[in-house]
Chain A
Amino acid sequence: MSVEAREKRQPWILLSPALTAITLLLFIPLLFIFVYSFWLRTATGADEIGFYLDNWREALTDAFYRDILLHTFKVAAITTVVCAMMGYPAAYFIARSKGNKPLLLLMLMLPFWISYIIRTMSWINILGVSGALNTFLLWIGVINEPIQMLYNEATVILGLVHFLLPFMVLNVFVSVDGIDETLEDAANSLGATRWQAFVQVTLPLSLPGLAAGGLLCFVLGAGTYITPLVLGGTSDAMFANLVFEAIITQLNWPLGSALSLMLLVVLGALVMIYNRYLGMAQLMKGLG
């Protein structure tokens, strides 16, 4: 075998374990889900094998699914904006801090050591009627009786921000950390105030990181079902909850498959748009 041919094969050989894993664990299950979406659930709960478009027709034309999808995107968008507003200053502070950067990054990663479900449930002990916040407010005399703070859209967004904020901070941090600090000094020396130097130099250069963090927060937020289940009220269900209900409660795997593919396609389209205008390289840096 020639050296050239060997060099051509080498990347594929090195990639083969990852490609095999992705094929077996992602593409083949997705193919099963795709095939399943054309089957039908019979009245007894058994699946009828065949090629039926009923599930897709229902998923695409029923206003119920459209409304919940829009509600899901609204919650994910608000969460993303809140994460950006809270995450940017924190990431900027970490990137520009001298000496204690590793410690601050470690503190940022600490929440990942605790289960996401436990972190979500911890809000019940904080915001509940007999939780820490109500107990404190009662104790200092600000309120006479507990305030009902849980089980609404605000607590769902709070839970999502709690979960997603580190993803935003990490992406923005990577971006800001890579910007040469002397650029701000140069802007200052040319007469710009510190604020002008930030707005006209640092912020534009860090936008790819902000966009990558925003994409991650939005996609992860739109696909969540635990947070609305634990912290949401009667009308706070998100699209992933519908998939769960169809598959688990109603045992309607074909409809659940169609719904999950629908969510995947919509979120996949968003990623494609992001890739078209900003490229995936920044996202990879943030994840790395």
Chain B
Amino acid sequence: MTRKMDNTTRYERLRERYMNGDIDRRGFLGLIGAAGLAYGVQTPFAKYAHAAANEVRFDGWGGVVSEAFRKYAFDPYTAKTGIKVVDGTFGDGDEYLSRVKAGQPGEFNIAHLSGVFDYARYQNLGLNSVLNEANIPNLEFVIPKLNDVFRKVSDGTLSCVPYDYGTTGIAYNRKYISDEEVREKGARILLDEAYKGKIGGWTDWRTRVWYGALQTGQDPNNATDMDAVWDAIRTHRDLLLKYWGSGAELMSLLAEEEIYLTEGWSGRIYALQEQGHDIGYMDPPSSFAWQECIYVMKGSPMEPCEELLNFMLAPATSIAVAEGQNYPPALDPTKVDLGAKIPTLPAFDPTGTLEQLTFADPGYWNGNEAEWSKTFGRVQKGY
């Protein structure tokens, strides 16, 4: 009978030769060491190849969003296809991009990314895939404008499907600040000396520059007087209690009344309102609108990924996730009945045209990223 030549058999035979005196101790240990090295080097890379057909890795923002994805998309997808979805999370998009950059091709597959500029960054770094849209029939329910923005960046093709959108507007504690005052002062209320020490701000250079442009009466997608913008950012910094770094920190600072006033993410503020906090939310003219997408990385198993995207775009899944995270889905309300809650969410556009929202121009923002992110890093620290 022929015995199967697996690794255990190989090691047993090697040991037998050593015990019989056919090879010396140095040779035996050398061969064992070489085998270990080969296994150690091969394993980290081989697992992605082995995993390709069996599992797909998804990375997102965690919390209720991941729970909704798991319940409405990943579990039914695994039940139908037998392909497991490995569900990872990240704190912010910059951190995730660093992990992807440090990783191996195929290690990361699908991610819930924020903003068209993120999409452009992944394209610029050569991390993009090209989706076969025929495999994603639910793409027809998506608001056309959201798809078009991505297509412009990637020569008419898509590496992602749009998933949701929202705004970064002004959030304020109604106990101390009235709706009328916010409406009257707009973005400049964040520079009001009266609230010194009770103002917060996101530690994101894009948001800071966007609001700096609004506070100096400029077009956020084409500011011409950057000195005035940086001065506004410095003024804001000097009135600030703290730059916040995550949605959880934003909610904690507002809920604990450490701050009364900040710009904030529409969905997170809606969540605070749902919890019973009297926090107001208002989008000033040209407020910062953004869209999120589900992005597929280069080196991923494309067909399983496309099928998963189709599951995620199914109206039932999209609506459940949107209700969980409080951001309107990318589904066109003229084609899909979005239920009762979604039309009440901030930033929701019932027309499906999104004409009222101002999105970031990716070319403009990414073109200035290196300089402005560095400058903001210094301004933030008092320079």
Contacts and interface: CB of A to CB of B under 8 A. Distances in A.
Interface of A: 41, 43-46, 64, 68, 124, 128-130, 148, 150-151, 229, 233-235, 237, 242, 245, 247-253
Contact of B373 (A128, A129, A148, A249): A249
A235 B382 contact: yes
A251 B381 contact: no
Given A45-B121, A148-B241, A151-B241, A249 B94 contact: yes
Given A44-B125, A46-B126, A247-B98, 7 more contacts: A130-B257, A151-B242, A234-B242, A234-B382, A249-B94, A251-B94, A253-B101
B98 A245 contact: no
B176 interface: no
A250 B374 contact: yes
Contacts of A129: 256-258
Contacts of A128: 256, 258
Nearest to B239: A234
B314 interface: no
9 contacts: A44-B366, A64-B378, A148-B241, A229-B245, A233-B242, A234-B380, A234-B382, A237-B380, A250-B374
Interface string B342-383: 000000000000000000000000110110011001101111
Contacts of A234: 237, 240, 242-243, 380-382
B95 interface: yes
A194 B383 CA distance: 52
Contact of B124 (A45, A124, A242, A253): A45
B114 to A, nearest CB: 14
A124 B257 CA distance: 12
A45 B94 CA distance: 11
A250 B242 contact: no
Interface string B238-265: 0011110100000010001110000000
Nearest to A62: B378
A64 B381 CA distance: 10
B38 to A, nearest CB: 15
Contact of B98 (A124, A233, A251): A251
A143 to B, nearest CB: 15
Given A45-B125, A151-B242, A235-B381, A251 B101 contact: yes
Contacts of B374: 250, 252
Contacts of B237: 234
A46 B100 CA distance: 13
Interface in B260-287: none
A63 B95 CA distance: 27
A235 to B, nearest CB: 4
B257 A64 contact: no
A46 B367 CA distance: 14
B131 interface: no
A235 B378 CA distance: 10
A285 B275 CA distance: 53
A248 B124 CA distance: 17
B373 A250 contact: yes
B241 A233 contact: yes
Contacts of B98: 247-248, 251
